[in-house]
Chain A
Amino acid sequence: MMNKTPEQINQDLLLPLNSTSWRYYVAVAALGSLVIMGLCAWGYQLDNGIGVSGLDRPVFWGVYITDFVFWIGISHAGTLISAILRVSNAKWRRPVTRCAEAITVFSLLIAATFPVIHLGRPWLFFWLIPYPSERGIWPQFRSPLLWDFFAINTYLIGSFSFLLLPSFPDFALVRDRSTGWRRRIYSIVSLGWRGTPKQWHRLEMAMRIMAVAIIPVAVSVHTIVSWDFAMAPVPGWHSTIFGPYFVAGAIFSGIAALIIAMAVLRKLLHLEEYLEPIHFDHLGKLLLAMSLIWFYFVFAESLTIWYGNEPSEMTVFWVTRSGQFSWLFWTMVICNVIIPAPILSVKRLRSKIGWTVVASIPVIVGMWLERFLIVVPSLSHGRLPYAHGGYRPSWVEIAITVGSFAAMPLLYLLFIKVVPIISIWELKLGQHEKPAEAPATVPGIAESVPASGR
């Protein structure tokens, strides 16, 4: 870590809460107008019906479901990575965890709107909730969509608590250092945190339990999202590999999003001394591993289909590899493996923040394309050749998608004004740890940190 007194850390990390530059307002206005554009497009769709989308028969699912799966994937950046780093007690996690957890909550909120946007009669979405109605009608528990509903809500509640729990000491810090109405608000949200040993003990216990509990939840969420596809007898979907394939893809895109978010925050909030190249180096290693795992899954899936040589599966196989969707498929492969893997393999490039970002941006594009290529080609090339069709997204779908991509940074910008984006107390805790306690199994940290810095 860096040589900073606790007071300096407080000042540095609370700065974004206390001062706002004109650039911030410009950014919020720009992103906000894009989000409003997306909302207007949705309003237009609500008024005119789902027919304003480009969907047709047989491509009943399109960009909305692609966006949904994509954003659920991004949400795996945060809570899962943060939980794994906490459980494995990786020392370098401290400045990373809260940015990661915030990504999860925001992308889940965005993802959760897409199934509703996608509905033919969105105002009736609450029929998925199992409430006792006078007619005695319950939702269908055999439907993967209902599993999805429960999985996403569990994950949302879980990751929101996971973000909130370690924020209480920081809320208390803000409370103690502010006056007036801010003080009143933060004294409510810090829930009477006074930093007594008992409170610290309880927080620690709660975080330990949550960190362990949230990992299976995160894995199950994207597995269940994949089952939306895998449970239907559609060529290209009906595959046992989908669960782990989706989870791997989700973590892959999630880490890429985290790297980009951290790089932007580092510049915007002048956190150069907190988010160091070493953090990007470690995340880059994770990204490289996920890139290779993702490629392994794509290869395994393709080879199995090709050897099986089942006619309807092969139709989808060829239409994506050499047919009308092939340019998207090969763009995806380039974005997900051919660009990031070589960059991240070289230590010299990986330890430069700019290069990790260069490797991460194509991953976001590639993983969105991956979801699109799972949804659309299978639907447009069903089992009966007579019913084959095509699909072209309409401006409404594109506007809503752009809106969702603007919503993510917007929520993030609003978040950094109310919550310190780096967990202050955890960072200080890391400073107080004796060098002997740091496990020798994290060589990257040991090498990069001068002994005096501890």
Chain B
Amino acid sequence: MATVKEQTQKTYRLKKRRWGMVVDEDRCTGCEACVLACHAENNIAIVGEGQAVRGRAMHWIRVERYYEGKFPDVKVKYQPVFCQQCGDAPCEVVCPTYASYHNAEGLNAQVYNRCIGTRYCANACPYDDRFFNFENPSWDKPLNLQLNPDVSVRSVGIMEKCTFCIQRIKAAEMNAEAAKRQLADGEFNPACVQSCPTEALVFGDLDDPESKVSRLAGSNRGSKLLEDLGTKPSVTYLRRGTWYDEQNT
């Protein structure tokens, strides 16, 4: 008889994959298509104007705008920020109920059913990328008909966050398993990556040296957000720096 561990491995196919993302800030135009796609894919509640003013808006991905220089010589920098899926995540250890945990593929998963709403994870997250349902979500008709059936709707009192579209990851893995083949690089993408018109976002397996994402992540334009905190983020930001400019002009 197979041990529990073997059964688990057989059932869930715990393979060594480490999902990661690359954000090319030089390509980002700040169009926010990713924000919209994320809302549609993940059934994120639209909290409405009043709640948004109070700072309760929920966008798993946000495009931060930073301005450089003085008018009229202003440069706008766009920085899409979402859960960095840290390798050593501050949010995971502080959850008293294991609602926030590290899954086998390097994602910081959130078990909605297990969340009791201490909100400690959101405080610990240095990227402010965890979102709390202060109210029960509602959708004006007929928007309630467009909810994604693969994603649960979160109720009041629960923390939620970017999952790298784990429902798509699971579906692709199951399809590949059923067809008895390996997952191909770029076979599927999270909603934000899929919707990015300038391909500023690239998703894939960081442990596969051939994948597009791991090649880009090694670029000398790359850096990580708040890397000095030791959170080991899975997201690499590419941006042209002075050093790079000096080398290439």
Contact = CB atoms under 8 A, between A and B. Distances in A.
Interface in A140-169: 140, 142-146, 149
Given A119-B117, A137-B98, A137-B114, A49 B128 contact: no
Interface string A126-146: 011000000001111011111
Contacts of A57: 55-57, 122, 128, 131-132
Contact of A58 (B64, B122, B135, B136): B122
B229 interface: yes
B224 to A, nearest CB: 13
A389 B55 CA distance: 7
Contacts of B119: 55, 60-61, 120
B134 interface: yes
Contacts of B96: 127-128, 139-140, 143, 145-146, 149
B226 interface: yes
A439 to B, nearest CB: 47
A56 B94 contact: no
Given A58-B128, A232-B94, A384-B128, A51 B135 contact: yes
A446 B154 CA distance: 68
Interface string B85-127: 0000010011111100000000000000011111110111011
B56 A119 contact: no
Given A120-B158, A384-B126, A142 B132 contact: no
Range of interface residues on chain A?
35 or more
A307 interface: no
Contact of A231 (B62, B94, B122, B136): B94
Contacts of A440: none
Contact of A233 (B66, B118, B124): B124
Given A60-B123, A119-B157, A383-B126, A233 B134 contact: no
Contacts, number: 139
Contact of B90 (A55, A122, A233): A233
Q: Which of A115, A144, A149, A233 has the most CB of B within 10 A?
A: A233
A387 interface: yes
A360 B44 CA distance: 49
A138 B99 CA distance: 11
20 contacts: A49-B136, A56-B56, A57-B55, A58-B55, A59-B55, A60-B122, A120-B116, A120-B157, A121-B116, A121-B117, A145-B118, A232-B90, A233-B90, A233-B124, A383-B126, A383-B127, A384-B81, A384-B225, A386-B66, A386-B81
